[in-house]
Every structure is written in structure tokens, then in C-alpha cells.
Amino acid sequence: MSTNPQLANRKLIIGGFFCLIVVIYLCRLFYIQVIDPQYKLDAEKNAFRYMTEYPVRGYIYDRKGKLLVFNAPSYDLMVIPRETKGCDTIGVCEVLQITKQEYLKRMKRACQAPNSPRKESIFEKQMSAQTYAALQEKLYRFKGFFVQKRTVRKYPKPIAAHLLGYVGEIGKEQAEKDPYYKEGDYIGITGLERSYEDMLRGKKGTQIAITDVHNKIIGRYMEGKYDTLAIAGKPLYCTIDRDLQEYGEKLMQGKKGAIVAIEPSTGEILCLVSGPSYDPNLLVGGKERSKNFTKLYYDSLNRPLFNRALTAMYPPGSIFKLIDALIAQNDGLINRNTTFPCQMGYPPMGGKPKCHAHGGGKNLTGSIAASCNSYYSYVFREIVDQRKYPKFIDGYNHWRETVKTFGPGTRLGTDLPYDKPGNVPSVEYYNKVFGKNGWRSNTIVSLGIGQAELTLVPLQMANVVATIANRGYYLTPHSIKGVGIERKLDARFKAKHYVAVQDQTAYLNVIDGMQGALEPGGTAFTNRLKGIVVCGKTGTAQNPHGDDHAVFLAFAPRENPKIAIACIVENAGFGNTWSAPIVTLMIEKYLNGKTERPEVEKRMLEGDLITKNNKKDALKIKHH
């Protein structure tokens, strides 16, 4: 048979066939080993477990080093679904006090994308200390479960919620955008927590562990050569005075409004009170957090999450007269002795805007102290219609631009997120409302007394008074002294911003007028302080939402001012009734460390305007 020539070449066919198969195999091997990268990536996922070590978030201190925010340990119960075989399921349900359905629901969620049965995911967020303690004993029976330690924010005093902001779980979209975060991580959502997130958060550490097929950790990859340690977040040194903030919040209890105090020489925000507020400890923790947040979020009557100090745009009312007085003097239109008539109102327009009985035509300082509406109607029209500008529109624009250098109309650029710009209406706006050529300076005369479309946020009000205290400049209000041990501060908070009015006599006259406001005949005489020269200005802002807002701003002491402060209390009436007492109490507290007017303090602390106004509103609705 071997001699059969037909069969002789079959050895070649067989050999060739063997070789062919081997060549095919080698091609395939070359493809999966050298060309296709997918398998290498898969292998990495297979064998490594990247374990995150969460850093400690930076503490926040007040200007005197008192603690505002610290961290408390928190425990998340994690699960790797694939490893839960033989787990005491009922035990888990009992400890967490959940139903079996809930257990299965969570387990399903842990298995579905983006989670995976092979990877850990959160089963129960931020367990209470009791739950954790109960769990700890039984954890050995809960196969596939383990506890991940993290930290949550804690606040030694229930204050400054709006300023500090809160920390919460990062949104899905944001997590996808920023490679630092992964879903379930925490991030500063508002306030300082948001502004200084980068510094506060620190740096996550990663440990690369080698796992076997059961996802059991066998050891560290390359003896930990590629591991990174978590770096703790940097401490934040706040400009806030904790005691002042706390006192301000007490005074604002039962009131809507805001108090903002600034140290004029530095632009440091001393307190930022928005009422009604809430206890920041409410927005910490797992289940409780979302429950509390929902409650706060849907409180449409009080809107406690609304940061009025930065975002509520109020008509400034009479306090705006200070700016008018400064501009008119700077333009050489009036001086200390200029008087304008007042007949319980502005005479050229038939007594509108109205004024109050303050005893005849006042000079400049008197007009500030007594807050004469007529005087500033004159002053406003003097500025807008001044000869220098043949067209009144140019005069108006001059006024507007000058006002804007004080802050109103643009965002101040503070380090707190979400501040609003307020509004100084533009020529275009009035052209739209009244038609081109359809308006004159008398049409908009109420701007001169801080009414009409003019709005400021409380922070801007405080900035205006700080500018006056500094006699012509301000530093961008900011809320931190510095980050980290070196107390690094952005250079933009050290630059002086000079406003368009630099006439020092003008400032002197206005400050004299402000001092006069707390002297006999002044609008805030009843709130004068013993031993401290306070320069202030009352405001009573008419608004379309109900009773007038009470506004007061002041700085003290007159020489070398330490504090510039603005306060607005919504629907409270005259500035002197509610806002001036609060401001002067705050000044006393800040400068002396104590207050000496117990009866005023008592009235402020106990005054519950919210309930009162709500009752009034309810009555009104009944009448209609």
C-alpha cells in the first residue's frame, strides 16, 4: 500500500493540513494578544480592585479660630452582590429595619448598571451609630457586606447654614464630567462648601488590591507601589464672627430678611444672616437628609433654603439717598449748605413723592438725618438734568454708571456662589416702558429715593455702607481669611475698588448726616448707643408684596470704622422700628462683646413678624 503513488502525496496533505490549522491559530493568537486591546482592559478589571480611601474634609473655623464645621464618622453599608451567597438575609433586614421586598429591590439595584454584581455598591447610606453598632456584631454572618467608613459634616452651633452651604451626593451628570468624582461621592453643593470644594475635599486615595476570582483580596498590587494615600482637605479660615453670626440669627428669628456685616478696611464679611434659616445639621446624613431637605424645599411660606442675604433683591429705599448725596456733591451741584423745600412731599410734582413731617426744608446733613424725600427728588433731578449733559439721557446714564461703581447692578464677585446683581434700570428699559422720548427725569424721580425698579441685594447694601465708611473705596466682600495653614487668599480680595465719587468733603458731609440720624431729630435717634458713634441711615422700602420693608444700614465707630452693616426686615414698616435696633444691637455686640439695652433686645428676640404677617395675609384673603 505504501507503494501506491496515489496515496504518497496524502502525507503532504495531512502535514499541510496540520500546518494550516496551526497558522490559523497563530493568527488568532496574534489578534487577541497583540492587536486587540480589549482583553488587557478586561484583565485589569478582573484582577484589580481599586479601593477608595476617602479623605477627611477640611474643617471650617471662624475669624477667631472657633469651630464652625467639623466631621463626624459615618458608615455606609456596602455590598458585593455576587458574594452574598449564604448571607443571613433576614438578619440584614432586621438590623436595617427594612422589608424583604426592600432588600431585594436594593440588591437588584446593586446588580444593575452602572453597578455590577461583582463590584461593591452602597446598600445603606450613612447608618446611624446604633445601627452600626448592631450591625458590627453580626457582620460576619452577612456575607458579601462590609462597611465603608466616610465622614459627614457636623456643626457645633446650628448657625450660618446659608453661608456654609451643605455637602451632598454628586449629580450623575456632574460626576461624568469631572474625572475626580464617581457616583455616590460627596461634593459641596452651596455656600462655602461649594466655593472652596477643591481645597476642602482633599484628595482621594486609592489602594490597588489584587483579587481572585471570588473577588477576595489576596494582596496589594506591586506591594502598594501604585497606591496613593488620601490627603486630608485643607482647613478654611472664615471671616465670619461666630458669636456675631449666632446673635444675628437669634435677632432674625421670626423675621424674614437679612443682616450682612462687613469689616470696611478688609472687605471681610463678619456675618451673613438670612432669615428664616435652618439648622445645617439637618442636611447631613442619609435618610434624614433627604427627608429634611424635602421639608425645607417645599416650605413655600418661609423658603428657608433661600439665601436672602445674597439673592433677595430688595428696593433699597431711603438708604439710597446717601449715594445721591455723594454724586451731587461730587458733581458740584450741591454743598453742605444747599437746602431744598419740602411740603410733606416734592413740591414740583404736587407733593409726590410724599414726605413726612420733619420740620421744613433741610440742608444736606439734615436731609440725611431726617431722610427727606423731597430733598432727594430735587437732588436726583439736579444730577440727571445737570447742564453738563445737554440730553437728560446722558445725565441719567452718568448717574447710573456712578451708582454702579458702588456695586449695585452687577454681581460683586464675592466668593460665595449664586449672588444676584440687583438692578439699576437702563435707558433701554425705560425706552421700552415709556417709549422713546416718552420719559423725563420727573418720570423716574422715585429712583432718587431708592424706589421704582431699583433693587439691591443685602450684601450690596452692606457694601455701599462699607464704601462710605472707607470714604471712597471698597474691597470685594469675601468670607474667608485664607485656606490652609498658610492662609492663602486670592489676590482679588486684597485689591481696593475706588468708586466714582472721590470728593472727601462729600463723604464728610454724608457721614455727618448719618451720624445725625442717631442724634436728636434723626430718624434713628431712639437707637443711639452710649459710647459708640454710629453713623446710620434708615430706609423704608415700599414694595409690591405687602407692608414696607424696614431697612437700616450703619457703620461704627465713626473714626476708623470696624463694622459696616446692613439689615433688612421684610414687611416690618419703618426702618427704625425693626432694622435699626437689630443693627445697633449687632454693632454693640461686635464692638463691646455685650449689649446694654435689654428691653430693645428682648423686643427684637421675641418679635415674630412672620406669624403676624401671615395672620394679616389670611385676613386679607378673607376680605377679598
Partner 1 sequence: MARNENSVFYGVDRVTLIVYVLLVIMGWLNIYAAVYNEEHQNIFDTTQKYGKQLIWIGGAAVIAFSILLIDANFYTAFAYGFYGFFLLLNILVLFLGKEIKGSHSWFKFGSAGLQPAEFMKFATGLALAKFLSNQNIIVNQQFRLRLKDLIKNYKNTVFALLFIVVPLVLIIKLQNETGLAIVFIAYIIVLYREGLSVGFLIFGLLTAILFVMALVVTSISGLLITLAVIAASAFLFIKRSRKNLIIVTLVLIAASGVVLTTNYVYNHLEDHQKVRIDVLLGRGTVDLKKEGYNVNQAKIAIGSGGFLGKGYLQGTQTKYDFVPEQDTDFIFCTVGEEWGFAGSTVVIFLELFLILRVIFLAERQRSDFSRIYGYGVASVLFFHLAVNIGMTIGLMPVIGIPLPFFSYGGSSLWSFTILLFIFIKLDSNRLLILR
Give me the 99-138 binding string for partner 1, x by CB under 8 A, dash otherwise: ------------------x---------------------
Q: Does 21 bind partner 1 (CB under 8 A)?
A: yes
Query: Of the listed pieces 83-91, 130-138, 186-194, 209-217, which binds partner 1 according to CB under 8 A?
Result: 209-217
Q: Does 226 bind partner 1 (CB under 8 A)?
A: no
243 burial (CB, 10 Å; 0-12 / 13-18 / 19+) is middle
Could you give the count of Cα atoms lying within 13 Å of 563 in the half-sphere of its Cβ?
30
Task: Report in angstroms how near the CB of residue 116 gets to partner 1 at its nearest.
Answer: 10
What's the N-to-C CA distance of the chain in angstroms?
Answer: 119
Task: Choose between 207 and 571: whose C-beta lies nearer to partner 1.
Answer: 207
For residue 96, the one-letter residue type is L
Which of the residues 28 through 57 are near partner 1 (CB under 8 A)? 28-30, 32-34, 36, 38-40, 42-44, 46-48
Cell of 104: 431585594
Q: How far apart are CA 452 and CA 449, in angstroms?
A: 9
Task: Report in angstroms how near the CB of residue 143 gets to partner 1 at its nearest.
Answer: 18
Query: Of the listed pieces 13-21, 66-74, 192-200, 407-415, which binds partner 1 according to CB under 8 A?
Result: 13-21
Give me the 429-448 binding string for partner 1, x by CB under 8 A, dash otherwise: --------------------
Q: How far is CA 315 from CA 311, 534, 557, 568, in A?
A: 13, 23, 27, 10
Is-contact 565 532, C-beta < 8 A? Answer: no
Q: How far apart are CA 13 and CA 6, in angstroms?
A: 12
Query: Considering CB under 8 A, how many residues would be counted as binding partner 1?
Result: 39
Task: Report in angstroms how near the CB of residue 213 gets to partner 1 at its nearest.
Answer: 4
Ramachandran class of 435: left when φ > 0, alpha when ψ lies in -120 to 50, beta otherwise: left
Task: Choose between 226 and 429: whose C-beta lies nearer to partner 1.
Answer: 226
Q: Does 24 bind partner 1 (CB under 8 A)?
A: yes
Q: Does 72 bind partner 1 (CB under 8 A)?
A: no
Task: Choose between 43 and 349: whose C-beta lies nearer to partner 1.
Answer: 43
Ramachandran class of 455: left when φ > 0, alpha when ψ lies in -120 to 50, beta otherwise: beta
Among 131, 211, 266, 442, binds partner 1 (CB under 8 A): 211
Q: Which residue has the cell 507601589?
A: 225
Task: Choose between 11 and 622: whose C-beta lies nearer to partner 1.
Answer: 11
Give me the 573-612 binding string for partner 1, x by CB under 8 A, dash otherwise: ----------------------------------------
Task: Choose between 29 and 344: whose C-beta lies nearer to partner 1.
Answer: 29
Q: Does 20 bind partner 1 (CB under 8 A)?
A: no
Q: Does 19 bind partner 1 (CB under 8 A)?
A: yes
DSSP string, 470-531: TTSEEE--BSEEEETTTTB--GGGT-EEE-S---HHHHHHHHHHHHHHTSTTSTTGGG--SS
Is-contact 551 575, C-beta < 8 A? Answer: yes
Q: Does 4 bind partner 1 (CB under 8 A)?
A: yes
Task: Choose between 49 and 381: whose C-beta lies nearer to partner 1.
Answer: 49
DSSP string, 394-432: HHHHHHHHHHHHTSTTS----SSTT----B---HHHHHH
Cell of 82: 455576587
Cell of 115: 453597578
Among 5, 6, 140, 606, binds partner 1 (CB under 8 A): 6
Sites of contact with partner 1 (CB under 8 A): 1-2, 4, 6-7, 10-11, 14-15, 18-19, 21-22, 24-26, 28-30, 32-34, 36, 38-40, 42-44, 46-48, 117, 210-214, 218
